[in-house]
Amino acid sequence: MKIKILPIFLVFLAYILAGIILILPIYTVFSEAFSEGIPKYIESITGEYALYAIGLTIKVSVVSVILNTIFGVTAAFTITRFQFPGKNILVTIIDSPFAVSPVVSGLIFLLLFGRQGYFGNFLSAHSIKIVFNTPGLILATVFITFPFVARELIPLMQSQGREEEEAGLLLGASFFQLLKRVILPNIKWGLLYGIILCNARAMGEFGAVSVLSGHIRGKTTTLPLHIEMLYNEFDSVGAFSCATLLVFLSLLTLIFKLILEKRTASQKNAD
């Protein structure tokens, strides 16, 4: 009897914790967002600064995902297919954003590229502005999302081996033919999974972006920063209304994640 009660209790406890940690906060966000009616909600998410924040968030996320996808595929292929000095160091560098606080990474970039930073004089002399500008936001987001694509592909490519690629080389295929017909088809689901996680992390990044943005409304405020500014100005309805957009993003990410997991599982069963 005790053996039967324990699993029921653990499942019940899991649902309770999920409700407290996930469902209750989501309910609070939406109830506060619509507390003054739908017109106020629409006004909050379609205001000038809100639309700019949404556009800037999309821009920064798209650029960051593209750069990290290129790097992730290149790094994963290099690490899994070649032996070279400093290989372990490269793997450690890829993992470093997991160990460094986003705020600390933002401060590091500020000390490097700020006006009083290491490269400050050079950048000022050439009229290049990174800090408190869009390039700084992209730089911070790229660093924070650095590991996601690479870390998803490295174990996948290690498990697949290199037999198909070697067979293609023996048949006279060029590298780009291997990339198109062998490498990318074999890693497509893992690559999409890494891109989705990278994009979700990029859109929700706050710490490093906050340090490098300067909180210039209408210029360097991404959606998370815009939400913070609204909340600090006691516009809780506007803040929670914009926060619902990030909640929708999280739900879409979760849906795509589940779809990809099922596709990956079905592909493994077929193989």
* Residues 16-33 pLDDT 10s: 888 788 888 888 888 999
∠114-115-121 over CA atoms, to 5°? 115
CA dihedral 95, 225, 252, 69 (to 10 degrees): -40
Q: Give yes or no for residue 180 having a pLDDT over 90.
A: no
Task: Give the torsion sign (CA, 164, 170, 175, 181).
Answer: negative
Render pLDDT for 194-247 as a digit per residue (tens, 0 to 9): 898 898 889 888 888 988 888 888 889 999 999 999 989 888 899 999 999 888
Render pLDDT for 150-172 as a digit per residue (tens, 0 to 9): 988 988 888 877 777 778 777 77
Structural domain boundaries of the chain? 36-269
Least confident of 37-41, 182-186, 237-241: 182-186
| Per-residue DSSP letter, 114 | S
Cα 209 vs. chain centroid, distance in angstroms?
13
Per cent of the chain over pLDDT 70 is 96
The answer to whether the predicted template modeling score (pTM) of the entire model surpasses 0.75 is: yes
Contacts of 144 (CB under 8 A, 6+ apart): 97, 102, 105, 201, 202, 205, 207, 208
Task: Give the torsion sign (CA, 240, 241, 246, 252).
Answer: positive
How far apart CA 75 and CA 239 sit, in angstroms, is 39
Name which CATH class applies to 36-269.
mainly alpha
Q: Give yes or no for residue 138 having a pLDDT over 90.
A: yes
pLDDT at 267: 63
Task: Give the torsion sign (CA, 70, 261, 97, 187).
Answer: negative
pLDDT at 1: 47
Helix (H) or strand (E) holding 221: none
Render pLDDT for 115-129 as a digit per residue (tens, 0 to 9): 888 888 888 888 888
Cα–Cα separations (whole angstroms), residue 71 to 77, 232, 242: 10, 37, 32
Which candidate, 42, 33, 15, 17, places its Cα nearest to that of 247?
A: 33
pLDDT at 42: 92
CA dihedral 117, 121, 124, 125 (to 10 degrees): -160
Q: Residue 92 corresponds to which tokens in the numbers above?
A: 């450690």
- Average pLDDT, rounded, for the chain: 85
pLDDT band per the 50, 70, 90 thresholds, residue 60 = very high
Q: Give yes or no for residue 68 having a pLDDT over 90.
A: yes
Per cent of the chain over pLDDT 90 is 23
